[in-house]
Amino acid sequence: MDSGSTPRISVVIPTYNRAPLLAESVDSVLTQQGVAFEVIVVDDGSTDNTAEVLARYGDRIRVVRQANAGFAAARAAGIKAASASLIALHDSDDVMLPDRLRVQREFADAHPEVAVVSGNAVIQGDDQRDYLEACGVDFGGRPWVIYDRPFEKMLERCFLVDAASLIRRDRFIEIGGYDMSLPSSADWDLWLRMARCWPLACLRHPCIWVRKHGGNLSASPAEVAGNIRVIRKALGYGEPIALAVRQRVLERLYRYLKAYLVSEVDGKVPSYSRIEVMRYVSPLPWPRRMAIGIVAAMPRGLLAFGLRQGRRLKRLCRKAEAGSSQ
């Protein structure tokens, strides 16, 4: 970090109750070389010893504190406080890999038309996997690829690594920033809106190491609900979508709706949510709409009984398969 130069990049790190992981994450940013940058950590109302950890860094970082409002609000607060034109997103439970900022800054300078540059990720325990290729990015043997307004591709699957992305601050502001009504899926919604307007790029260069832990292993009911709303919102833009892609997106929406109904039966979301899902079924083919409607209208006790029996049957099938393979 060159404290004597005007920062080219503002690194924004939202954090909430991750004190045990925070120091290693911040340290990995501060060791970046080859570009002037600033580090902004947004403490999103932490109740652990996050403040004590951050205090050790003194003026090497800037700290923004706010009441707990979720990652989108924390990211937005950090971007608002940033002084650089390029914003590097980083998560407080990840480790920034060497040369990330230099490589992404050089690419952004060489391709001013690109609004977002995503780096690659190395997932803990899966070090041999090319994460972006697994997300559908075709590098074609090159070190990078640029997609020109890839709304359709982004709708089918979010192919950017959120915490390894470098965005242009002016484009973020122009597009309206995060949709705060989507606290758990605001990143995907942002990329979809940007993909309608500007090219997005991916680099094969590994930029972050993602740690697996209890807070990131599976999608929460809130994230599933957010994804349902993002898909429904995106389909309402009227963008041209190939029939095969649309069918796959609708199948994904159907799976999300089923998962959300299961979450209600398991008591993970309010009971009224079972009827709320009907607001989002209109894009589905009528047999799918009918299936969701029947399930949503079932008495909760009957639905819970059917779910228990289905899970019991799955366990029995797994045991039978395990026994036959021995």
Asked whether the CA dihedral 104, 184, 15, 217 is positive or negative, the reply is: negative
Q: What angle do CA 128, 162, 192 make, to 5 degrees?
A: 120
Alpha-carbon separation of residue 2 from 54, 309, 325 (angstroms): 20, 62, 60
CA distance 259 to 129: 28
Q: Looking at residue 316, what is its pLDDT? A: 78
Q: Rounded CA gap, 74 and 59, in Å?
A: 20
pTM: 0.89
Alpha carbon separation from 312 to 39, 305, 309 (Å, rounded): 50, 11, 5
Q: Residue 1: what pLDDT?
A: 54
168: left (phi over 0), alpha (psi -120 to 50) or beta: beta
How far is Cα 117 from Cα 29, in angstroms, rounded to an integer? 18
Q: Residue 213 has what pLDDT? A: 62
- 9-210 under CATH 3.40.50.300, yes or no: no
pLDDT (tens, 9 = 90+) of the chain, 326 residues, equals 554 578 999 999 999 999 999 999 999 999 999 999 999 999 999 999 999 999 999 999 999 999 999 999 999 999 999 999 999 999 999 999 999 999 999 999 999 999 999 999 998 876 667 899 999 999 999 999 999 999 999 999 999 999 999 999 999 999 999 999 987 899 999 999 999 999 999 999 999 999 876 554 456 888 899 999 999 999 999 999 999 999 999 999 999 998 888 888 887 877 667 777 888 999 999 899 999 988 888 887 887 777 778 778 878 777 777 766 66
Rounded-to-integer distance, Cα 220 and Cα 232, Å: 19
Q: Are 241 and 196 in contact (CB under 8 A)?
A: no
pLDDT of residue 217: 42
**Boundaries of every domain in the chain:** 9-210, 221-321
d(CA 43, CA 34): 27
